[in-house]
Chains A and B, each alone.
Chain A
Amino acid sequence: MIDFAPSEAARAVEGVARKLAAEVLAPAAEALDRDGGFPRVSLEEIAKARLLAVNLPQELGGRAAGVVAYSLAITELARGCAATTVAVCVSNMVAEVVNHFGTPAQRQLHVPQLAAGRHVVGAFALSEAAAGSDAGAMRTRARKTDRGWVLDGGKLWITSGSDAGLFVVWARTEDTPGTRGISAFLVPGDVAGLGRGKPEHKLGLRGSTTVALDFAGVEVPDDALLGERGRGFPVAMMALDGGRIGIASQALGIAGGALDAATQWARDRFGADVPQHVQWALADSATELEAARLLTLRAAWLKETGRPFSQAASMAKLTASERGFAICDRLLALMGEAAQRRGHPVERAFRDIRVTMIYEGTSEVQRVVLSRDIMRRFADDGGRT
């Protein structure tokens, strides 16, 4: 028997997120989108609800609610405000990566702080101006000294980079090229030599800051190294595998919110006599959304139960982001003048969701990785995919 029902506990977390989304995130979303900025107050409420550490142990301040609960919570939050939600996604990802790869001391030091929002949020600093999809081409360096490490270089597009209190930063520590010789570091936000650029102006997600970071001789101690020296790249890739479940969930929430708004519009505008082109748009959107939701929850369940989930997470992210954008675009076109007004939920959804096809691995990168997996499995499984 396949059981599609999330547990009571997961549903409870979803309920908490739904309430926060409705009461805290949604009311602030339009102004945040219009004016930009950083949603500090909302994030404080989210931290109080322990949604910055949904899948982290209770003894470290987390909810220990599992990955399905995490996915459901992110979907609900994204219905309220996609921009606030991406900060939550990244912070959860950072907490998980510290928990997974950190020493007991690093875990004890950082996870409770992240969970309680005392770092505001965590940030994930991998991309560089010339190293996006090809993160292994990064140039930021960390040089070993007697007292620890010195970081020099620059990162680009770092979510929450304006306000985050803790960064995981990837830097080259060895002379080997490509993905080898990269290490991960835990860098506090107030460290000397760390410059935070001005937030980028963006199509959407305008309430999330996306900033360049400059490392000019940033000194960190030896125990800032996260995981093994020279083995940082797999740390990033594993973090992003889980992260993709978060981004898929975010896309589900954004598109789901757009579908809610379109359905409300259809009811108000047409009453019992909804024309078929509207019926079709709602039917197709709901069907595509459901397919993406099943993929996402399955990926979450695989991760939660300790099974391999990387491929499932890629499929979920690819589907939820691409179908999600198609849904928002379709609904915007369908509603025309009613939805094209700036700040309308469908208009905002159209702008916000577009980035889910880009960050945490573009759609093209997902396809590259997926096809590699498929070929490998075909070979391993005697000619079956």
Chain B
Amino acid sequence: MTAAIDAFEAPAELTPVRDAVAAFVRNHVASQARAWDEAEALAPDLGRRFADAGLSGIAVDEVQGGVGLSWLATAMAAGAVGEASGSAAVALALHECVLGCLADAGADASLGRALSDDQPWTWIDGTHDVQVIGRGPGGWRIRGRLALVPVGSAMVINVRDGAGVAAFAIDRGHPAVRIERRATCGLRALELSDVGIDGEVADALRIQGVDGDALATTRARLVALVAAAACGIGRGATLAAAAYAKTREQFGQPIAAFQAIAWKLADAATVLDAAWLSVLAAVRAIDAGRSAEIAAARAALASFGPAVRACSDALQIHGGYGYTTEFPIERMLRDARACELVGGGADVHKGAIARAIEARVG
């Protein structure tokens, strides 16, 4: 990360975490991102590696077993990991949302399990697709189908419960859960799956105290963090393209000398910086405890499209090489486009922002 493509200088107290993330990305992500994509699976101990690097529960209080920093620090981590692996960055975002939600709810047992798990967990908003349909001898009966959601070693699944919401921490092997792994365009190493849920879930797995507000809070965190990951993907692609453009020669000069190449880099740096500022606005609101739904939606809108554009331009700069899997750019393009699967589509975000503007003028 250089100032030229990241307007934001980390505040002094975050310099250590920035350096830790950079080292983590260098040692654990960069060299493996391609293999994860090809295997369509992340490292089986990625959760452990996050934790060892101080990247587990980044915004969770130290007394609860977290790192005790902030969502700003979490976004920095998601962005930096995204520069090397979109799948790992989104996995980090999901895991951090799980930890934040469990910590907020005081669900210490589940939080302890999630913090010590070798694999990351995922957080799923299933309130449109899954509902509590009653009680049975074994606990809450829930039923529904989730399309293309990320599956972790366990999932915090939010479901509809009458007029309200309920959240459950469910292991992937739970008998009520049927997971059908799907191949996707991007974020292939995330375990995106169609998930059928039908059965009884023990009382102990219900996370008490998750209401509509808590759901909205975690949703905003996730949207902002996936936006941060997307910015990271775009940044990674742009930096790779800049490095390539300086060494690739055509017509007797480095292609970076052509305006057509240089300006693509300038455009990408500009829009990605703007997107990053909108991510910062969102995580600052989150850290300050303000409602962040709209700020997060804006961050998503500002990030997803420009990230795709930056990756596509980076691919173009790489010419024919960029189209091959020898270079990371084609993966980054796919991953950038797939961020919306987890972070929400433009239609959702634009709807929310428009409603907020209308509300503001009366």
Please report A residues at the B interface, Cβ cutoff 8 Å.
Answer: 127, 130-134, 137, 156-157, 200-204, 210, 275, 277, 325, 329, 332-334, 336-337, 340-343, 347, 350-351, 354-355, 357-359, 362-364, 367
Contacts and interface: CB of A to CB of B under 8 A. Distances in A.
Given A203-B323, A364-B261, 13 more contacts: A137-B250, A156-B320, A202-B323, A325-B312, A329-B308, A329-B337, A333-B304, A340-B148, A341-B148, A351-B334, A357-B316, A358-B316, A358-B323
16 contacts: A131-B250, A137-B250, A156-B320, A200-B326, A277-B350, A325-B312, A333-B340, A333-B346, A341-B185, A342-B183, A354-B333, A355-B323, A358-B319, A359-B320, A362-B316, A364-B316
Contacts of B326: 200-201
B198 to A, nearest CB: 20
Contacts of A358: 316, 319-320, 322-323
What are the 5 closest A-B residue pairs judged by CB atoms, nearest first?
A: A342-B183, A203-B330, A201-B325, A134-B250, A337-B148
* Residue among A157, A363, A364 with max Cβ neighbours from chain B (10 Å): A364
Interface residues of B, number: 38
Given A132-B320, A157-B320, A325-B312, A347 B147 contact: no
Nearest to A134: B250
Nearest to A332: B337
B98 interface: no
B258 interface: yes
B184 interface: yes
Contacts of A341: 148, 182-185
Nearest to A338: B147
A210 B319 CA distance: 14
A230 to B, nearest CB: 21
Contacts, number: 102
Nearest to B146: A337
B354 to A, nearest CB: 11
B324 interface: yes
Interface of B: 147-148, 182-186, 249-252, 258, 260-261, 304-305, 308, 312, 315-316, 319-320, 322-326, 330, 333-334, 337-338, 340-341, 345-347, 350
Nearest to A335: B345
B319 A347 contact: no
A350 B337 contact: yes
A132 B323 contact: no
* Residue among A137, A204, A325, A340 with max Cβ neighbours from chain B (10 Å): A340
Contact of B251 (A133, A157, A332): A133
A156 B326 CA distance: 14
Contacts of A202: 323-325, 330
Nearest to A342: B183
Contacts of B337: 329, 332-333, 340, 350
B184 A132 contact: no
Contacts of A200: 324-326
Contacts of B251: 133-134, 137
A275 B354 CA distance: 15
Contacts of B319: 132-133, 358, 362
B340 A133 contact: no
Nearest to A329: B308
Given A132-B319, A332-B185, A203 B148 contact: no
Given A201-B324, A202-B324, A340-B185, A130 B249 contact: yes
A197 to B, nearest CB: 12
Contact of B345 (A133, A333, A342, A362): A333
A127 B316 contact: no
A277 B183 contact: no
Contact of B185 (A156, A342, A363, A364): A342
A339 B16 CA distance: 41
A364 B260 contact: yes
Nearest to B350: A277
B255 to A, nearest CB: 8
B341 to A, nearest CB: 6
B300 to A, nearest CB: 12
A364 B325 contact: no
A126 to B, nearest CB: 12
B30 to A, nearest CB: 20
B246 to A, nearest CB: 15
A351 B185 contact: yes
A314 B185 CA distance: 30
A325 B251 CA distance: 27
A21 B278 CA distance: 46
Contacts of A210: 324
A351 B252 CA distance: 31
A277 B261 CA distance: 33
Nearest to B318: A358
B341 A354 contact: no
B296 to A, nearest CB: 18
Contacts of B333: 203, 354
Contacts of B308: 329, 333
